[in-house]
């Protein structure tokens, strides 16, 4: 990307930086900002140019995600949702469906992906949302909860069961029978538009079912989540960078006991740890993105690792950053106060830390070695 | 194995593909399954590993496994994966939809 996408949207990034605190407090990002970035292709930057996207590779897309994440995790969460919706269409949809839906996602319409249900969080196999085919239409019934960006979305990719199998269907939010209720006061990513989505007898063209029915639910979920995990991981890098920026500035200028607080060793140690956290998260994300770009099968585990390490480091780093900022960072809206709250949600969404750990453990036990296939060594 | 070893012009060698997939499964799971063994019911594979298999097949054989082909039944056995690769290569020779 060089600095193209940063420079091109510099005015927007400045606006985001100046307003992120206000959006956090208001619990809302102005729609014009979101649709403007959407129409510029920035919200799902990996969509190919033939569909109006920027066609970025995983590394460049990651840099962009981290940049936005350093300014505003709510906006970055909207990007994650939009990108995951686009990825699901790309991965599951037919050529006709890609041509029908992707240009909408790069043309200013906003999207979300709905997995979680009141009784199906980590245990997505307990999902009860149903798709029933009826001639050339499909009827969708169910209840989805805590769907990021759903309050803004024009389209929601709803994951549900279809008989013994599973499917993903693109649901326009203005379709009859769709009800969206915003989660009143999320503790983090407060302006990311989390909402409950009720679907009652929603009848849509069968052509909205991505790739048709007959998929396995765990397989479908794993596929769709892969992009979201990568995006969250890079978003966590952003959270750490936002903290590092605020903390280093503060620690150099704030004086206590006759010197800048950075010169107090207990403060300096926290800064070193925060820096190490940012570098660690960046390294695992880069490694995973490299796997995506080379098409290596290692990308599957590398993505889980990046998400898990990113979220863990972000939580620890943000807590440390707030300790350094103390009262200067302890008001809602402040970049570090937001980081502290937003980071915690990153350990919960797109596969909790515990789910990620189970997957990492399973992989380590199965292979008996790390993530690398070690072809070079053979 | 590298993608260069598989060219679109080469006749599809099912045995070789079966061997290569078997090697990948063995390397990733320290288990060498029979070609007809159900990898999921016998506990060798789960959905994460299925995703690895998808990416492996895509990289090794330059195919795209998308949409309706992402059915678990295609990944249930080494034989079914080899059949999927054979079909996708034949289809992409006829129509390069990526």
Question: In this predicted model, what pLDDT tens digit does every residue of A332-361 receive, in sequence order?
Answer: 999 999 999 999 999 999 899 999 999 999
Contacts of A294 in chain B (CB under 8 A): 59
Residue of chain A nearest B65, judged by CA positions: A91
User: How far is A204 from A197, CA to CA, in rounded Å?
Assistant: 16
Q: Is residue B28 part of a domain?
A: no
Q: Is residue B29 part of a domain?
A: no
Which member of A214, A301, A368 has the closest CB to residue B68?
A214
Q: Is residue B51 part of a domain?
A: yes
Q: Which domain holds residue B43?
A: 34-92
Q: Residues A212-229: what's their mean pLDDT?
A: 89
User: How far is B76 from B81, CA to CA, in rounded Å?
Assistant: 8
Q: Is residue B62 part of a domain?
A: yes
Q: Residues A68-93: what's their mean pLDDT?
A: 97
Q: Touching check for A363 and chain B: CB below 8 Å?
A: yes
Q: Which of helix, strand or coil describes residue A129?
A: coil
Task: Give me the domains of chain A, ranges plus CATH numbers.
Answer: 4-105 (1.10.540.10), 111-215 (2.40.110.10), 218-367 (1.20.140.10)
Tens digit of each residue's pLDDT (9 = 90 or more) over A113-145: 999 999 998 888 899 999 999 999 999 999 999
The torsion angles phi and psi of A349, rounded to 5 degrees, stand at: -85, 165
Contacts of B48 in chain A (CB under 8 A): 222, 300-301, 304, 359, 362-363
Which member of B30, B70, B72 has the closest CB to residue A366?
B30
Q: Residues B50-70: what's their mean pLDDT?
A: 91
Q: What ipTM was assigned to the predicted interfaces of this complex?
A: 0.86
Q: Touching check for A222 and chain B: CB below 8 Å?
A: yes
Look at residue B12 in the predicted model and tell me its pLDDT.
79
Query: Using an 8 Å Cβ cutoff, are A199 and A142 in contact?
Result: yes
The pLDDT confidence band at residue B46, using thresholds 50, 70 and 90, is confident
Q: Touching check for B16 and chain A: CB below 8 Å?
A: no
pTM of the predicted model as reported, rounded to 2 decimal places: 0.93
Look at residue B10 in the predicted model and tell me its pLDDT.
60
Query: Using an 8 Å Cβ cutoff, are A103 and A51 in contact?
Result: yes
Contact A295 B55 (CB under 8 A): yes
Q: Residues A99-124: what's their mean pLDDT?
A: 95
The pLDDT confidence band at residue A370, using thresholds 50, 70 and 90, is low
Q: Residues A34-56: what's their mean pLDDT?
A: 96
Contact A215 B56 (CB under 8 A): no
Contacts of B32 in chain A (CB under 8 A): none
The pLDDT confidence band at residue B1, using thresholds 50, 70 and 90, is very low
The single residue listed with the structure tokens 């990620």 is: A356
The minimum CA-CA distance between B79 and chain A, rounded to whole Å, is 19
Look at residue A3 in the predicted model and tell me its pLDDT.
56
User: How far is A184 from A178, CA to CA, in rounded Å?
Assistant: 18
Q: Residues B25-47: what's their mean pLDDT?
A: 92
Q: Touching check for A369 and chain B: CB below 8 Å?
A: no
Give the count of domains, chain B. 1
Q: Is residue B21 part of a domain?
A: no
Q: In this predicted model, which residue has the larger pLDDT, A164 or A109?
A: A109
Look at residue B94 in the predicted model and tell me its pLDDT.
82
Q: Is residue B60 part of a domain?
A: yes
């Amino acid at each position: 990307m060089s600095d193209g996408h940063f420079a091109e949207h510099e005015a927007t990034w400045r606006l985001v930086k100046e307003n992120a605190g206000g959006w956090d407090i208001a619990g809302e990002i102005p729609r014009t900002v979101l649709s403007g970035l959407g129409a510029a292709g920035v919200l799902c930057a990996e969509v190919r140019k033939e569909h109006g996207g920027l066609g970025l590779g995983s590394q460049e897309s990651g840099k962009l995600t981290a940049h936005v994440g350093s300014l505003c995790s709510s906006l970055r969460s909207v990007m994650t949702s939009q990108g995951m919706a686009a990825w699901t269409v790309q991965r599951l949809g037919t050529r006709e469906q890609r041509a029908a839906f992707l240009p909408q996602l790069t043309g200013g319409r906003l999207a979300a992906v709905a997995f979680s249900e009141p009784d199906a969080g980590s245990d997505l196999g307990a999902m009860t949302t149903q798709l029933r085919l009826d001639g050339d239409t499909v009827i969708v019934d169910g209840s989805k909860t805590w769907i990021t960006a759903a309050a803004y979305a024009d389209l929601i990719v709803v994951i549900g069961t279809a008989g013994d199998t599973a499917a993903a269907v693109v649901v326009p939010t203005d379709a009859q029978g769709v009800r969206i209720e915003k989660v009143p006061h999320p503790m983090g990513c407060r302006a990311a538009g989390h909402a409950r989505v009720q679907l009652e007898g929603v009848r849509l063209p069968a052509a909205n079912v991505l790739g048709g029915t007959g998929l396995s639910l765990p397989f479908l979920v794993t596929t769709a989540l892969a992009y979201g995990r990568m995006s969250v991981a890079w978003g966590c890098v952003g959270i750490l960078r936002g903290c590092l920026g605020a903390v280093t500035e503060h620690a150099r200028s704030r004086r206590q006991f006759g010197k800048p607080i950075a010169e107090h060793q207990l403060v300096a140690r926290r800064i070193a740890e925060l820096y190490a956290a940012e570098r660690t998260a960046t390294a695992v994300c880069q490694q995973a993105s490299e796997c995506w770009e080379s098409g290596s099968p290692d990308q599957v585990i590398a993505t889980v690792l990046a998400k898990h390490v990113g979220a863990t480091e972000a939580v620890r780093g943000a807590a440390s950053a707030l300790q350094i900022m103390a009262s200067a960072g302890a008001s809602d809206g402040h970049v570090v106060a937001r980081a502290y709250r937003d980071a915690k949600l990153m350990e919960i969404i797109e596969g909790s830390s515990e789910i990620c750990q189970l997957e990492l453990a399973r992989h380590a036990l199965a292979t008996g070695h790390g993530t690398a296939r070690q072809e070079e060594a053979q | 194995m590298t993608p260069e070893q598989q060219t679109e012009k080469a006749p599809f060698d099912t045995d070789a593909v079966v061997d290569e997939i078997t090697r990948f499964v063995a390397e990733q799971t320290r288990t060498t399954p029979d070609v007809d063994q159900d990898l999921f019911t016998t506990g060798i594979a789960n959905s994460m590993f299925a995703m690895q298999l998808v990416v492996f097949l895509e990289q090794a054989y330059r195919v795209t496994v998308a949409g309706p082909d992402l059915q678990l039944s295609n990944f249930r056995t080494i034989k079914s994966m080899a059949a999927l690769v054979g079909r996708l290569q034949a289809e992409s020779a006829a129509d390069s939809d990526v």
